Amino acid sequence: MILPTLLCAGASFRRVIAPRNLALALVAGAITGLALLGLPAPGLVSSAYQVLVSTLGGLLVLPIVAALPAGDRALGYEQLVGLRPVPSVSLALGRVLGSVVGAALLVLLLGFSARMVAAGRELPREVVGRLASEPEQPPMFRFGIPADLAGPFQLSLAVHVPLRQAGELIIDARRGEGTQRSSHRVRPTRRVVLPVSDMAPQRGDLYLTLRAGDGLVLAAEAPRLEVGRELLGDASLRLPREAALRIALAVLAAVCAACAFHFETALLAGLLALLVPSQQNPSGVLLTSGLLLLFAVMGTALVRRQALP
């Protein structure tokens, strides 16, 4: 039974990774990469990458895998397949195996092509300030700055300034033994970006105490210090491993449903599986997969029985 299963799997795999499907995955990946280029912060890019790859990946592969058995049946090609002396178990398991492996390859291709487009982008390297003062004192933030980075740095701060007024912001900086005070006039805006000296030759963490004058209110959001620029890189764009199980189950549901039902029903089954939060319980995943495979085998046998009474 193993050899026919592998042969069926190979046939399904070849059809899933047809040149047109590979091209679709590449294009979807390139579009994902281009979308990532427009995002401002590395953290946002990283999370958007994971969401886009898992969502677009699912939407790309589900119609492809659902169309294989369902399309064959609609065309009548199923009868030529059904006439071959291959057991229904091998046919069903082979279809599922080939489709799942092919779909995984397409999603990976999508993820890697998105990475190729987006990974070369330069983004600001930011350090988030940690509050290091008592509640009744003016807020003091600690910034852990890598020793190899030289200033000046850019402080990004969310503020509230009433319209047609201007506020004053005094920054007391301390690094090592050195201290420095600077005063800035802030116009009505929601975010202000101010230069901060690196206080060379002092090294170590940088402490900034922010004192808001009349007409200026500091927002609750922690200030950020841009300490340089860096390439987005492959490390920031990690493949959505958490979503892999959900996509695999969705593909499994779509293929198994397509073994017995029409394309639309199979696609719906896959989409539902994609939307349902993934089960982290291994026994639950195994049970679901086993039931789906059983359904695929029974569906294939019954449909074949219909085609070959």
Least distance CB 147 / another protein (angstroms): 58
Question: Pick from 38, 76, 146, 201: which binds another protein (CB under 8 A)?
Answer: 76
State which residue, 100 or 192, has the beta carbon closest to another protein: 100
Cβ neighbours of residue 114 closer than 8 Å, sequence gap 6 or more: 29, 30, 32, 33, 36, 49, 52, 53, 237
State which residue, 41 or 308, has the beta carbon closest to another protein: 308
- Assess 309 for contact with another protein (CB under 8 A): yes
From residue 163, how far is each of 154, 168, 184, 190 by CA, in Å? 25, 14, 17, 11
Question: Pick from 23, 193, 291, 308: which binds another protein (CB under 8 A)?
Answer: 308
Q: Restricting to residues 4-63, name those near another protein by CB under 8 A.
A: 4, 7-8, 10-11, 14-15, 18, 20
The tokens describing 102, both together, are 């092919």
Question: Pick from 86, 108, 132, 218: which binds another protein (CB under 8 A)?
Answer: 86
Segment interacting with another protein (CB under 8 A) among 78-86, 123-131, 152-160, 236-244: 78-86
Angle at the Cα of 175 (from 173 to 177), degrees rounded to 5? 115
The β-bridge partners of 185 are 168
Q: Restricting to residues 89-148, name those near another protein by CB under 8 A.
A: 91
Cβ neighbours of residue 177 closer than 8 Å, sequence gap 6 or more: 202
Amino acid found at 183: S
Segment interacting with another protein (CB under 8 A) among 2-10, 47-55, 102-110, 248-256: 2-10
State the first-to-last Cα distance of the chain, in angstroms, to the nearest integer.
Answer: 23
Name the burial class of residue 29, with classes exposed (0-12), middle (13-18) and buried (19+) by CB atoms within 10 angstroms of its CB: buried
Residues within the interface to another protein (CB under 8 A): 3-4, 7-8, 10-11, 14-15, 18, 20, 71-72, 74-77, 79-81, 83-87, 91, 307-309
